[in-house]
Structure 1
Amino acid sequence: MSDIPINLAVEDDLSEAVLREMLRQSQRPFSIGTCHKRGGYGYLKKILPGINHAAKGSPYLVLTDLDRNECPLALMTEWLSHPKHPNLIFRVAVTEVEAWLLAHREAFSQFLGIPTDLIPYDLDAIPDPKQLLINLAKRSKKRHLRDAIVPAPNSTAKTGKDYNGKLIEFVRQNWKAELAKTHSQSLERAFNAVICFEPIWKN
């Protein structure tokens, strides 16, 4: 089976780690090329039309957060003025990629050392998964995780000093998309899109 070349475009390091892990766990022969990642939502929105055009020659997997947008379809329609090329996999995490991590409820609760029941069943229904994750981390008995994930007292930072680092560690070592997707429909759609992807090559 020949390799499937694919490039990535994401908002941040955590999203990149999640996509790389999804591609690996898909057991498809993906060969990852370039990863576009220069700082958030606005950059992705700006470059997406160009990525859609470039996908004719090389497939792309793009992930953004829904955040406060109405719904994934509305976001996709707003971002793409031309029809989406079949070689572009454009997925939206509802409402943030943190929901996809939390969706592997058993693994994430073990990671923090908290009861699994503290994590909701339907993570796509949570309006602020990042804040939920931080609140859960505050309850962790593992001080190194609390210090890394939770903002320091009186700090203006929204996350702890090694927030992405510790969550990326979780993704690489413990997170399983196949199990997590049962608690996140947006993850299920994204993972299925990766598993079923077949690039189209035109002579």
Structure 2
Amino acid sequence: MGFMYLAVEDELSEEVGIRIIKGVLGSGFAFKTLRKNGFGYLKSKIESFIEMSQYYPVLMITDLDKEACAPKLKEKWFKSLEKPERFIFRIAVREIESWVLADTDDFAAYLGVRPSLLPKNPDALLDPKATLINIAKKAKKPLRLDIVPEQGAIAVQGLGYNRALCQFIREQWDCQRAASRSESLSRACTRVAELRSN
């Protein structure tokens, strides 16, 4: 049985990371999650994660957000640090929600909407979370109430947002199908698959 660390920004990224590990490496690959809300924790601990990867692989997932491109973000985070082979640094373009949206048919079925409402190229979206919430406005009522913020609310997402999306990831999301519509996810799956031969 193999072992690795999974370092992520938030609860939704954690569920996606777990599904990638299980989907690519199988359930026999053990892991421990490292998470405190936000990318600040990941960025501040990057030297520690690099050191940990000398002993066990580390998969770290962060969002591109407003950064111009993945190489720019990587340059800012690593600076002069060397990235070991077993430190898998993956960037969701532009947010983890784009990887959620990439499993088009399953997510459409979960929401109860037409697959044609979902984007063909989620990596090209400037604001995947906003896109997801707009699609969820047409979802079945329980999910719509969970995902979409109440009218006039300060919050950008519904109170049950994480609960609803994490349930979808755990029960239905398929990383291999999603990878066919997301280049950034496909690259993540390919890098994780390399651990099978290490």
Shift of 1:198: 5.2
Distance 1:52 1:85 in 2: 7
3-state DSSP of counterpart to 1:56: coil
Distance 1:23 1:62 in 2: 12
> Quick check: 2:3–2:29 contact (8 Å CA) kept in 1?
yes
Deviations 1:17-63 (A, max 9, x none): 00101111113442112x22111011111111221122112221100
Query: What letter is aligned with 2:107?
Result: F
Matched ranges for 1:148-187 at <5 A: 148-187=146-185
In the alignment, is residue 103 of structure 1 matched against residue 98 of structure 2?
Answer: no
> Quick check: 1:102–1:133 contact (8 Å CA) kept in 2?
yes
Residue of structure 2 in register with 1:40 after alignment: 38
In the alignment, is residue 136 of structure 1 matched against residue 135 of structure 2?
Answer: yes
> 191-200 or 63-72, which moves further after superposition?
191-200
Distance 1:69 1:151 in 2: 26
Deviations 1:122-178 (A, max 9, x none): 1100000000000000011x1110110001111101110110111010011111111
> Quick check: 1:99–1:129 contact (8 Å CA) kept in 2?
yes
* Alignment equivalent of 1:14, drawn from 5, 12, 15: 12
* TM-score w.r.t. length of structure 1: 0.93
> Quick check: 1:87–1:199 contact (8 Å CA) kept in 2?
no
Distance 1:198 1:138 in 2: 41
Q: Which runs of 5+ in 1 are unaligned?
A: none
Residue of structure 2 in register with 1:65 after alignment: 63
Q: Which runs of 5+ in 2 are unaligned?
A: none
* TM-score w.r.t. length of structure 2: 0.95
3-state DSSP of counterpart to 2:30: strand
